[in-house]
Amino acid sequence: MNQSAPDTLERASDDETYYLNMGPQHPSMHGVLRLLLHLRGEKILDCEPVIGYAHRAHEKMAENRSYIMFIPNTSRVDYLSGMIYNIGFCQAIEKMVGIEVPARAEVIRVIVCELNRIQSHLLWLGTFMLDLGGVTPFLYCFDDREEILTILDRVTGSRLTYAYGRFGGVTMDVDDVFIEQSRAFLVRLRERFLMYHALIRENVIFQERCRGVGVISEEIALKYGVTGPSLRASGVEYDVRRAEPYGGYERFDFEIPTEKAGDCLARFDVRVREMEQSCRIIEQGLTALPDGPIGPKKLIKKLKPPKGEFYFAVESARGHFGMYILSDGSDTPAKIKLRTPSFSSLSSMPDVLRGTMVADTIAIVGSIDLVIPEIDR
């Protein structure tokens, strides 16, 4: 506890206010995030997020290795959306250079990315419940998540940080076992949704902890560039997969779940409904999976994009993930700047937390689903 105010926050006007550090070593921060809270009693007067404790310099590393060598870095920016980031980077380069992706590879990418999205949401749901004191949902969520990791491990060789994408396709084809396991998982998860609804959504304690708590209005969301489920829970129907279709998503039939309240409960509802839509997309992909190659006829070992500036975005589990790439015509990018959704969501916290109680901080921060290494990139 620090009794003196830092320069970045307004100095207290009376002796009844004080400053409290939440993190960077705190079990509910899900990473080394520090929130400097200015309090009067248990009411938050102001909040300053402090980041930078786990900076890995991915963007700087991009300037010192070729485009192909940077592929493994991408899944480590957001390790929970690792597949989406990995394939998203490949899609960005393919757009820059004009590389055609075979239809089979395109559908496989959609399937594995949606599986990756579900496992990320399951981890969020489990840890969010744990933050609120619910141990049982945490165990069920991780049990379901293990099924996805096993399926993806079989086809990619990895359980968390993937390098499955390649320029023009994927590294390994899927087989009948992958298809059967995926279909079986969809059946299992849809049954689990009923259990999660009864165990969590209908729980009175959960409702009291979340309803009307941590409201992110549409105005605040747009002001800070909040995207993903947190934006859609505030009533804005924006999803990169629909707004700027990429990777074949325009051929899939799915809905964009939205809510109006903008509170913790709305963000919960949106993410659960998103998992249902991801199941719907995966099922369509498995049914319509075409035959054919999974990559270019000749393996791409080196490429030199034309000079210029390029931007490409995908919808990660947390929202709009954008890649700004500056090419000087060589096989190494002159600059890569990553637009990550967690940074924008965290930036809104001073406005959102102001006037709330310390006890609600854990629920509010947990509900926006932050991945700190995505911020400290």
CA distances 189 to 20, 129, 184, 193, Å, are: 41, 18, 9, 6
What pLDDT shows up at residue 5? Answer: 46
- Tell me, yes or no, whether 78 and 45 share the same domain: no
Per-residue pLDDT, averaged over 87-97, amounts to 96
Q: What is the mean pLDDT of the chain?
A: 93
As given in the structure block, the two tokens for residue 186 are 């969809």
The CB density around residue 117, as the number of other CB atoms within 10 Å, is 26
201 and 322 both lie in a single domain: yes
Query: What is the pLDDT at residue 15?
Result: 67
Position 363 pLDDT exceeds 80: yes
- Parallel, antiparallel or unpaired: strands 34-40 and 43-50: antiparallel
Domain end call among 53, 69, 87? 53
Q: Which amino acid is at 116?
A: N
- Decide: residue 45, CB within 10 A, 0-12 exposed, 13-18 middle, 19+ buried: middle
Instruction: Identify whether residues 29 and 88 lie together within a single domain.
Output: no
Nearest CA among 79, 76, 75 for reference residue 30: 79
Print the domain residue range for 3: 1-53
Determine the pLDDT at residue 248: 94
pLDDT surpasses 60 at 9: no
pLDDT above 50: residue 315: yes
**In this structure, are 175 and 236 located in the same domain?**
yes
Cβ-contact 231, 165 below 8 angstroms: no
Position 14 confidence tier, pLDDT thresholds 50, 70, 90:
low
- Over the stretch 151-208, which tens digit does the pLDDT of each residue have? 999 999 999 999 999 999 999 999 999 999 999 999 999 999 999 999 999 999 999 9
Cβ contacts of 267 within 8 Å, gap of 6 or more? 229, 230, 233, 259, 367, 368, 369
For 232-279, the three-class secondary structure string (H helix, E strand, C coil) is: HCCCCCCCHHHHCCCCCHHHCCCCCCCCCCCCHHHHHHHHHHHHHHHH
Long-range contacts of 297-304 (CB under 8 A, 24+ apart): 299/166, 300/68, 300/99, 300/166, 300/167, 300/168, 301/68, 302/66, 302/68, 302/331, 303/67, 303/68, 303/93, 303/97, 303/167, 303/331, 304/329, 304/330, 304/331
Considering 18, 37, 53, which residue would you say is the last residue of a domain? Answer: 53
- 162 alpha carbon, distance to own chain's centre: 15
Residue 257 confidence (pLDDT) above 80: yes
Q: What separation in angstroms does the CA of 123 have from each of 80, 110, 169, 369, 371?
A: 8, 20, 28, 10, 11
The CATH number given to whatever domain includes residue 360 is: 1.10.645.10
Q: How far apart are CA 307 and CA 286, in angstroms?
A: 38
CB atoms within 10 A of CB 2: 10
pLDDT at 26: 79
Q: Are 25 and 157 members of one domain?
A: no
Residues 242 and 283 occupy one common structural domain: yes
Q: Is the pLDDT of residue 4 over 50?
A: no
Place of tokens 């290795």: 65
Residue 267: pLDDT over 60:
yes
69 neighbors 163 (Cβ within 8 angstroms) = no
The answer on 121 and 48 residing in a single domain is: no
Q: Is the pLDDT assigned to residue 10 strictly greater than 70?
A: no
Closest CA to 344 of 366, 368, 326: 368
Same domain, 46 and 111: no
Give per-residue pLDDT as tens, 26-53.
777 778 899 999 999 999 999 999 998 8
Based on the domain organization, do 29 and 160 belong to the same domain? no
Domain count, the chain: 2
- Choose one of 29, 53, 77: the last residue of a domain: 53
Same domain assignment for residues 260 and 364? yes
Instruction: Give the tens place of pLDDT for each residue, 279-307.
Output: 999 999 999 999 999 999 988 988 999 99
Q: Are residues 29 and 80 in the same domain?
A: no
What does the pLDDT read at residue 13? 53
Q: How far is CA 192 from the centre of its chain?
A: 22
pLDDT of residue 23: 80
Rg value, the chain, Cα: 21
Whether residue 14 sits in one domain with residue 87: no
